[in-house]
Amino acid sequence: MASCVTELITSCSNIMLSVTALHSSYRLFKDHRAPAVGLFLLGLSAALCIFPPSSSYFTSIQREAEWAGEVLAPALVSFDFLWLSEDRNTAHILLCGSCLLLGLCDWISADALTLLTRCLGLSSLSCCLTVCLFASNALGAFGGVALSLPLLMAPSIETNTFVTHISPAANEGLTKWLLKGSMSLGCWASTQALSKFLLDVTDQCHIGI
């Protein structure tokens, strides 16, 4: 019974995240290609995780796709904030770091991968928060935190007792639902924030002219 509840919660959370991320990607694609790609990959990985694992190989693919989506989505959203604020060097460094982590993930230990993943998550978040702070874009800051939260918190949450009065399996499902819900909110908030930030930048350029 607990396993059925866990599968149901996990599937519903993945459906919610997939729909939200793919819709946000569609809305962003015209003016914000980098975050559109990141949210598209996030939506695809969530869609892949909807299906129950049928083999260890398929489970491995689901976990890798889920991890890649969680890494790239906040990084590419932060990349666009940096790019629009004309901090192109930092944007390129963040993008190269994300690509290097994805390329080297099979060559480093699990502990090193966890550490590097958290470092990249913190870097993406700090870049997003810095730009949004100076631009007074509170929605962008909220979106950055919501998108980065699973990347920073998931490894530690899985080892703790999050809700003590339910079984560990249901607890794991509830935790994943909360983190997926956080990313869904992050997709929506980042979409609104990027559109607003682009308008602000465009208005400033017109005033300067």
Burial 161-180 (b: 16+ CB within 10 A, else e): eeeeeeeebbbbbbbbbbbb
Q: What six digits make up the tokens of 130?
A: 């810095």
pLDDT above 90 (res 4): no
Q: Look at the chain and report how many structural domains it folds into.
A: 1
What's residue 49's pLDDT?
86
Q: Name the nearest CA neighbour of 73 among 93, 44, 52, 30.
A: 44
What's residue 206's pLDDT?
58
Range 14-29 average pLDDT: 94
What's residue 205's pLDDT?
64
* Least confidently predicted of 34-38, 52-56, 57-61, 80-84: 52-56
pLDDT in tens, 80-108: 999 999 999 999 999 999 999 988 888 88
What's residue 172's pLDDT?
61
pLDDT in tens, 107-156: 888 888 888 889 999 999 999 999 999 999 999 999 999 999 888 875 54
pLDDT above 90 (res 61): no
Domain extent, residue 53, equals: 2-208
When the pLDDT of each residue in the chain is averaged and rounded to a whole number, the result is: 84
Residues in the chain: 209
pLDDT in tens, 145-187: 999 988 887 554 333 333 334 445 555 667 778 889 999 999 9
Residue 55 belongs to a domain with what CATH number?
1.20.1070
Contact 74, 121 (CB under 8 A): yes
pLDDT in tens, 26-36: 999 998 999 99
Q: What six digits make up the tokens of 171?
A: 């607890």
CB burial of residue 203 (10 Å; 0-12, 13-18, 19+): exposed
- The CB-side HSE value for 195 (13 A sphere, CA atoms) comes to 13
pLDDT above 70 (res 3): no
